[in-house]
Structure 1
Amino acid sequence: MLRRRGRLPAAPWLVAVTLSALLLAAARPAVGAAAWCIARSGASEKALQSALDYACGPAGGADCAPIQASGLCYLPNTLAAHASYAFNSIFQRSRAAPGACDFAGTATVTLTDPSYGSCTYPSSPSTAGQSGTPGSASSTPSSTFKSPPGTGGLSPPDVDSTDSYAETPPAASFLSLALSCFMYMFLQLW
């Protein structure tokens, strides 16, 4: 059977537009859905420590008071737990801006609330607290979190990223697979 090249009937284009819109909607969290920034499992301790130092330092400006020894989020006293809280503080203040949850590849966005017990992770800019500024009651302890020299930018200093890994978000994988299937089916109709 010969296929005629040229203008396709309206139905395939309508299906294409509808499927594209649905796929894009499925790949993003719902508007107003809460998201948190946490330490990526598998990130090296060296990279996490460097990112935490940045986050709690003057350049990062995270609210690190809750992860100090007297804070509600001090326990568990682990690098990943403390980094997660600090990363999320900055992420929420940035209004979940794209790229705000990276920290040299040591962080990832989750839709699962990481809060536990009396430790509540902020879920919006209004609940993210105040940044630790030198001389204030919420400043970070100098014995624990020292800002590395030369960290005047918006990201942590370069760290050895060979110890951490990059992972494709599930929504991106789904979107890629769905678009591939759609294109295959569409080309079969062409």
Structure 2
Amino acid sequence: MALFVYLVLFLALTRRSSALYCLCKDGVGDQALQKAIDYACGAGADCSPILQNGACYQPNTVKDHCNYAVNSYYQRKGNAQGTCDFAGAATTSANPPATSSGCVYPSSPSNAGTTPSTGSPPGTTPGSPTPVGISPTSTTGLSGNGANLGGINSELLLLSVLTMWLAIRV
């Protein structure tokens, strides 16, 4: 039995979490999606790929540009809890959106880049202020369909439970 517990503990500590993407929800209006784009692009996302002639400009839809912008923001913020909500317009997904244009979505903070966007966010003109009034977090502080515990927190919880169980058994 102890071997089983150690095996579970080993697997929990060596488990690799899969990539998460932040994507705009279906059925959300274009105005809410544009607000998410404006916030993400003004707050640190790399939106140069969705500018005209950028690698992810096509298809030129608000939804596709929103997917790229909120995902870039989410990745650059290190997948932190609450950085993929955008007033309910976005949620996390284990799968990137399907693209026919060859656009590649960052899947981790390490490949999201660190250089701020040099272009204006879509829907703005150079020199215009970035629209405000939306933040990446909801009022509940939950992301998407509920709280995201994250890989480290869930591993610590599992480790704590196993440690207590072993202490009781001894």
Q: Normalising TM by the smaller chain, what interval?
A: 0.5 to 0.7
Q: Aligned pairs, how many?
A: 132
Partner of 2:152: none
- The one-letter code of the counterpart of 2:106 is P
- Cross-structure match for 1:183: none
Are 1:67 and 2:50 matched, yes or no? yes
Specify the structure having the higher radius of gyration (Cα).
1
Partner of 2:78: 95
Whether 1:125 aligns to 2:136 is no
Partner of 1:140: 120
The two structures, once aligned, show a CA RMSD in angstroms of: 3.5
Query: Gaps (5+ residues) in structure 1?
Result: 1-17, 159-165, 172-190
Match of 2:164 in 1: none
Q: Which amino acid aligns with 2:33?
A: L
| Percent of aligned pairs sharing the same letter | 43
Unaligned runs of 5+ in 2: 149-170
Contact 2:84-2:137 at 8 Å conserved across structures: no
Q: Is 1:54 matched up with 2:36?
A: no
CA separation of 1:44 and 1:68: change in aligned 2, threshold 3 A: same
- Aligned partners of 1:115 and 1:65: how far apart in 2? 20
Q: 2:91 is paired with a residue of what secondary structure?
A: strand
- Counterpart AA for 1:139: G
Residues 38 and 167 of structure 1: is their aligned pair in 2 closer, same or farther, counting only changes over 3 Å? closer
Q: How high is the TM-score relative to the length of structure 2?
A: 0.63
Instruction: Give, in angstroms, the shift of residue 146 of structure 1.
Output: 5.2
Taking structure 1 as the reference length, the TM-score comes to 0.57
Verify the 8 A CA contact 1:50 1:157 in the aligned structure 2: no
